[in-house]
Structure formats: structure tokens, C-alpha cells
Copies of this chain bind each other. A is one copy, B any other.
Amino acid sequence: MIPRPFEYRFTVQLHDTDAAGRLFFAHLFRHAHDAYEALMREIGQPLPPMIAAQTLLLPLTHAEADYLQPMQHGERICVEVEVLELRQRAFSLDYRFLDAAGRLAARARTVHVQIALEPGSARSLAPELRAALEPHLAAAPTE
């Protein structure tokens, strides 16, 4: 069983920081994507063969982040990833970056749209992709 929310951990490395002594904001998205790759691998939808075969691509159409606390060199961060929305041909993910004390240091969101490189296909998300993502949908419908 994959825990829910899915957790991905990393340590803020020297190259993540800048001369201001904090994680450079753009690198947060690199870590968010690493968490996304880890989730996809866990749910049996690994990106590398998809991208190598070029049958299906899931490019980002939107990305955003809110920075609440600076992340320092050496900090251990836990990223909680959930599926925020599953739509016809797209899905969005929510990432919560928690520091060692469990405080929310940053939050990010990415939106992915399925592009099929073979014509005629893919008016909607691949069924096995949808089925794999569904258990990771954030919270209940009433929320």
C-alpha cells in the first residue's frame, strides 16, 4: 500500500541555495517534479518509458508555488503530493513542502495535459493512468 498522501523526501543541497542563503525559488519546481516522477513510478505509470516511446506526453500547462518559509541548506524536506483534480484530459497535483518540524514551508501546484502523439487517440486521459491517479485524489468530494 502506498501511503496517502504520497511522501517524497529530499535534503536541500548546496546547489539548491543562492547567495541569499536560501533555496532559490525556481528549484522548488525541480523538486516538485522529482516528487511527481516518484509518485508516477510508485503508481505504475513511470514517466521514462512514456517519454522515450513518445506515445503519450503529459506536459505541464501551469505551475505555481507559494513560499511561506525560507528553506536552508541542509534542511530535510518532506513533500506530500496529492491529486487535486482529475479532468477529461488533464490532472493537477498539489505539493506541500514540510520542514522537519512539520511546518508548511511552501506549496506548489502543477497542471498536466495529456497529448497523444498518435492521431485519433486520446480525447481523454488513458484509463490506466486515471485509475492509478484516482486513489491519490485529495480529500472527499464534499470538501
A residues at B contact (CB < 8 Å): 11, 13-15, 17-22, 24-27, 29-30, 32-34, 37, 46-49, 51-52, 54, 57, 59-68, 70, 72-74, 110
A57 to B32, CA, bound (A): 25
A22 to B21, CA, bound (A): 11
Which chain B residues border A27 with CB–CB below 8 Å? Answer: 15, 26
Assess whether A66 is in contact with B70, with CB atoms less than 8 Å apart. Answer: no
26 contacts between A and B (CB under 8 A): A13-B30, A13-B37, A15-B18, A15-B33, A15-B34, A18-B73, A19-B51, A19-B72, A19-B73, A25-B29, A25-B33, A25-B60, A25-B63, A25-B110, A26-B26, A26-B32, A26-B33, A29-B29, A47-B74, A52-B72, A60-B67, A61-B66, A61-B68, A62-B66, A62-B67, A63-B65
| A-B complex: 10 closest residue pairs judged by Cβ atoms | A48-B74, A64-B64, A26-B29, A17-B19, A48-B73, A25-B60, A19-B73, A19-B21, A26-B30, A14-B18
Assess whether A62 is in contact with B64, with CB atoms less than 8 Å apart. Answer: yes
Task: Identify which of A27, A63, A65 gathers the most chain B CB atoms within 10 Å of its CB.
Answer: A63
Assess whether A74 is in contact with B46, with CB atoms less than 8 Å apart. Answer: yes
